[in-house]
Amino acid sequence: MKTVDDKRPIKALLQHDGQGWFVGGKAGTTKIRPYEESGQLAPVVWFEIWRGDVLDSRVNAVNVAIIRYGDQE
């Protein structure tokens, strides 16, 4: 697993239907972190969705329409 070079903190990931993951939102998401996994022909970007110190889920970037950056306070 390789981290993505973009160091900006991610505030939210939105899908095409407007639903998504929000740092500090009602679902308890505390951090969203991008990383790469090896694909058949090229690296594939995924996002880790964290709740506290627990990795809750992973989302493939193909399912993301918008990335919002900002402070994660």
The pLDDT tens digits along the chain (73 residues) read 666 778 899 999 999 998 999 999 888 999 999 999 988 888 999 999 999 999 999 999 999 999 999 864 4
Q: Which domain holds residue 7?
A: 2-69
Query: What is this structure's pTM?
Result: 0.85
Of 70, 69, 49, residue with least CA distance to 59: 49
CB 21 within 8 A of CB 34: no
Domain count, the chain: 1
Residue type, 54: V
